[in-house]
A and B are shown apart, each in its own frame.
Chain A
Amino acid sequence: MTRTNKILRLWQRPYAIAAILTIALLAANLIVNPAAFSPQYMPQTIAAFAPFALAAMASTPAILGGGGGIDISVGPVMSLVNIVIVTLLLPSQLLDGPVMGVTAALVLGLGIGALNGVLVAVLRYQPIIATLCAMLILIGINIRLAPSPMQAGDNWTDAVSSSWGPVPVAAVLILAPLALWSLLGKTAWMTNLYSVGGSDTAAFTAGVNVTAVRVVAYATGGLFAGIGGIALTGILRSGDSTVGMQYTLIAITAVVLGGTSMTGGRGGMGGSLAAAAAIFLFQILLSAMRVPTPWLNLTYGAMLIGAIIVTVRTSTANKTKGKVA
């Protein structure tokens, strides 16, 4: 295989655009805003990135599973974890440690994700409707628990923006789901997920337990959102019911930009992570350049539209290429 061929094949990967954007934006940031990437501030920059990254990764499995799969309750799940830690666990003498906090985050995330999965795969609600209902219920609970933002004080989640030795803690939070995902990649489930996403009827008639595969996908996404809740608490340093929602939309944007097909079966976790990085880097680049807020949103939206068009076009071009009529 020639070198151009190799480059061509890399270009045809669904995450190519997101990866190129990330590299370019990282370079631009290093020129405009080198301080944020100095050893001193690096842990904080990564901590600020972590909720983006985890929200994008949490949104990916449901979409990969196809059948219109989507989980729009990701943001509110992160908020719920954030609020439960700040308003219920930290004030208590017994439950204020990291073990209890992390367990609560994982159990809440996994449980709500699995519930979404049951609504979608067992009870056959439209995914967007099912997770919309979950989202509305969660927002209600969040507001009930924290009617106004509640300061957290010093606590274990502050560690998110620090380092363990040379390793930023936030990086560990981001890498944990990736590790779990590649572990799942060694089981039959991952192949099953892509098969179900590619054609649920084909997978069903071939004997795949489509229901179980999809429930696990939503549960996995929920678990990642739970971890995202920890990251969110680390940077907010308060319990706030208003911030979660914005992550849902950015996360889904990142999934698409990362090359995952909204119809399922194509794409992957790495693309979502790279795209989340690109979006995050673009945001901090614009604020470092002191772009006024109205322009910030406008430019940001325009870039996303452009990038998504290119991503979708290249992936459909690859799809039709070589297809025999």
Chain B
Amino acid sequence: MGLQPVSEENTPATSVTPVLRVEKVAKSYGHTRALTACDMELFSGEILAVMGENGSGKSTLVKILTGVQNLDEGTLSMDGRRLRPFSNPVDGISAGIVAVFQEVPIIENQTVLDNIWVGYDGVFRNRLRKAEKRHIADKVLKVLLGRQLDLDQHTESLSLSDQQACCIARALVKKPKILILDESTSALDIATRDRLFKTCSELTGEGTSIIFISHRMDEVMAIADRVTVLRSGRTVGHFTRGEATPEVLVSSMTGKTFAQAEESVDVRTPGLDGKVQLETQDLKLSAESKGINFHLRKGEVVALAGLEGHGQDHFLRALWALEPVAGAVVAYTKNQAQKITSPADAVRASIVYVPRDRRTEGIFPNQSIGDNFSIATMSQDVQFGVVKPSRSLTRLKAFKETLKIKMSSDRDPITTLSGGNQQKVVLARWLASEPDVVLLNDPTRGVDLGAKRDIYALMRRMTQQGVSFIVLSTEVDEILEIADRTLVFRENNVFVELDRTMTTREKLVSSFFGHEDSQ
């Protein structure tokens, strides 16, 4: 075990009082212990990354720090003074702790302005004049987006990235002493993320402390001053900037040595000479776009990449006839050509689509894990008009093992699972229908390293059986790991198509920004 023990030497040995001290905090949900013993210190003007795999307790920690959940045991103190436990977010905010969440909690029917200032005023009292609110909102958005947004526009028409920018602005206008960014970069496009990082370093210069939670190693390396690692609800290590190499962090998070963790899971198969399963004929994403003629072969993994909003999402959804486009999509899966003009056509051609937004498009939050899994394949379980749940259970068991889904009973509500495990159940639901082509829309968004590997391993197994994948991915590492081919989208066109042998990190990222050759 190349694991760093928790030790006092790892924390800065200064007499400076931390802004925030978390001591032996524990929290259970029913029988599940989400946090067992969390210890953490945050100093003035620093960026502290909190890392850990899914289910390590990061989200619970954030909920406790913000007052969304009450803690069961342990203490929080700020500037050396012990805090009364928060009973709701109002308490957290008045103590100066404000969080931006991964889930992009936007209020769609409200304007940009109201979304930014929600929670700032009292129940009745306006704490600022409207003109002043507009002025500050404009300023903050300009910093985050590099451009103006119409403040009177309803947020439902904004892109996900801009919606998240509004949520970040919502936190910033409250002038927090401690700003928590909980996976809040995963919804941002790269340019906005970079501006956010710049803003973060300006804020720390003014004395604000930042708790930064991210699954992206590159982001943590880029901005964190220190890293605290959680594993299974316990703090297992504190690292300073110099000590925190990716190897050290991965081994601390997984409890394995780096070599073990990195055991290569290679999804790629030489499927390039396989039969064409799906093609697009002169598909145009906008009136000005060039036609896209794309072929997907049996057993192939094709990644769709690019900066957010450059057409890759539109393209993927068009393949399942979720978006109107010019041109045609044709499937050859059932040994015959079939035009895909509706999702029903796609299902008939054994093409499945796993949407991006798990919360609104993926799960049935009130239903059990078993029901969430079997909803797409229930027709297989019908005998004499009666559903036999035992059959779907058998299927679920198989996926539970291959995907390593952590759950106690299939009768528990799906919301008792962590985000990564919910995502695995949603994936399993569609993969269980034995598709020929799988369309995945950012399948590992907000999912930890271990869960990603489980998903990649399953993909590999399926490609060997001849299943093809088209994966929209926002993570360069993921593309490098899984894709046989990558289509990079730019301004609603395929900007470049990269073969696996040609794909490098530099090439991918530079093509996102429109540079074709930069080796």
Chain A: residues with CB nearer than 8 A to chain B? 187-189, 191-192, 194-195, 197-199, 201-209, 212-213, 216, 265-266, 319, 322-325
Q: How far is the CA of A231 from the CA of B313 in the complex (A)?
A: 57
B133 to chain A, nearest CB (A): 11
- Indicate if the CB atoms of B66 and A191 lie closer than 8 Å: no
Apart from A198-B110, A207-B119, A265-B107, 12 more pairs, CB < 8 Å: A188-B124, A188-B127, A192-B118, A192-B121, A194-B114, A197-B109, A199-B106, A208-B119, A322-B157, A325-B313, A325-B314, A325-B317
Tell me whether A187 and B157 are in contact (CB under 8 A): no
| A202 to B103 Cα, complex, angstroms | 10
Cβ contacts B123-167/A at 8 Å (1 or 0 each): 111110000000000000000000000000000111110000000
**Interface centre among A203, A204, A205, A212, by most B CB within 10 Å?**
A205
Residue pair B126, A187 in contact (C-beta under 8 Å): yes
> Which B residues lie at the A interface, using CB under 8 A?
66, 68, 88-90, 92-93, 98-99, 101, 105-110, 114, 117-127, 156-160, 170, 174, 309, 313-314, 317, 322-323
Q: How far is the CB of A114 from chain B (nearest CB, A)?
A: 14
**In the complex the two chains form, what is the Cα distance from A207 to B109 in whole Å?**
18
List residues of chain B with CB within 8 A of the CB of A192.
Answer: 118, 121, 123
Q: How far is the CB of B343 from chain A (nearest CB, A)?
A: 14
Q: Identify B107's interface contact among A203, A322, A325, CB under 8 A.
A: A203
Residues of A within 8 A of B174 (CB): 207
Say yes or no: A202 contacts B156, CB within 8 Å.
Answer: no
Complex Cα–Cα for A209 and B88 (A): 9
The reply to whether A195 and B114 contact each other, CB–CB distance below 8 Å, is yes
From B92, B99, B118, give the contact of A208 (CB < 8 A).
B118
What is the predominant secondary structure among interface residues of chain A facing chain B?
A: helix
Assuming A192-B123, A207-B174, A325-B313, is B105 touching A199 (CB within 8 A)?
yes
B314:A216 contact, CB within 8 angstroms: no
Q: Which residue of A lies closest to B120 (CB)?
A: A207
- B93 cross-chain contacts in A, Cβ below 8 A: 207
A324 to B19, CA, bound (A): 41
Kindly provide the distance from the CB of A115 to the nearest chain B CB, expressed in whole angstroms.
18
A208 to chain B, nearest CB (A): 5
- Cα distance A109–B317 in the bound complex, in angstroms: 52
In the complex, the number of residue pairs spanning A and B with C-beta atoms less than 8 Å apart equals 98
A198 touches B107 (CB 8 A): yes
**Given A191-B114, A194-B114, A324-B158, A203-B124 contact (CB < 8 Å):** no
Interchain Cβ contacts under 8 Å between A and B, 15 examples: A188-B123, A188-B124, A191-B110, A192-B121, A198-B110, A206-B89, A206-B118, A206-B170, A207-B90, A207-B174, A209-B122, A213-B123, A265-B107, A323-B156, A324-B157
A212: which B residues are within 8 A, CB to CB? 123
A167–B296 alpha-carbon span in the complex (Å): 75
Nearest A residue to B314 via CB reads A325
In the complex formed, the residue of B with least CB distance to A184 is B124
Docked Cα-Cα span, A191 to B127, in Å, equals 13
Q: Which of A208, A213, A319 contacts B156 (CB 8 A)?
A: A319
For the complex formed, measure the closest distance between the CB of A218 and the CB atoms of chain B, giving whole angstroms. Answer: 14
Which residues of A are found within 8 Å of B89, using beta-carbon distances?
Answer: 204-207
Are A266 and B68 neighbours in the complex by a CB distance under 8 Å? no
| CB pair A199 B99 closer than 8 Å | no
B157 touches A198 (CB 8 A): no
Q: Are B122 and A188 in contact (CB under 8 A)?
A: yes
Residue among B98, B109, B121, B157 with max Cβ neighbours from chain A (10 Å): B109
Smallest CB-CB A-B distances: 6 pairs: A207-B119, A206-B119, A188-B121, A202-B105, A198-B107, A207-B93
Which chain B residues border A194 with CB–CB below 8 Å? 107, 109-110, 114
- Chain A residues whose C-beta falls within 8 Å of the C-beta of B106 in the assembled complex: 199, 202
Name B309's closest neighbour in chain A (CB-CB). Answer: A324
Residues of A within 8 A of B122 (CB): 188, 209
- Measured CB to CB, the nearest residue on chain A to B91 is A207
Query: What is the CA–CA distance of A198 and B323 in the complex, to the nearest angstrom?
Result: 26
A319 to B101, CA, bound (A): 24
* B105 partner residues in chain A, CB cutoff 8 A: 199, 201-202, 205-206
Residues of A near B90 (CB, < 8 A) are 207-209
Q: How far is the CB of A249 from chain B (nearest CB, A)?
A: 26
A319 contacts across to B, CB distance below 8 A = 109, 156
Across the interface, name the chain B residue whose C-beta is closest to A192: B123
Q: Would you call B107 and A189 a contact (CB within 8 A)?
A: no
Contact B68 A195 (CB under 8 A): no
**Cα distance A216–B123 in the bound complex, in angstroms:** 9
The reply to whether B109 and A266 contact each other, CB–CB distance below 8 Å, is yes
Decide: A191 and B156 in contact? CB cutoff 8 A: no
Query: How far, in Å, is A318 (CB) from chain B's closest CB?
Result: 10
Whole-angstrom distance between the Cβ of A56 and the nearest chain B Cβ? 21
CB distance from B360 to the nearest CB of A (A): 11
Contact A191 B121 (CB under 8 A): yes
Assembled-state Cα–Cα distance A96/B22 (Å): 64
CB contact under 8 A between A323 and B314, given known A198-B109, A207-B119 = no
Chain B proximity of A194: nearest CB distance (Å): 6
Q: How far is the CA of A191 from the CA of B105 in the complex (A)?
A: 16
Q: Which residue of B lies closest to A264 (CB)?
A: B109
With A324-B158, A325-B322 known as contacts, the answer to whether A205 contacts B99 (CB < 8 A) is yes
Q: In whole angstroms, what is the CA distance A23 to B47 when docked? A: 61
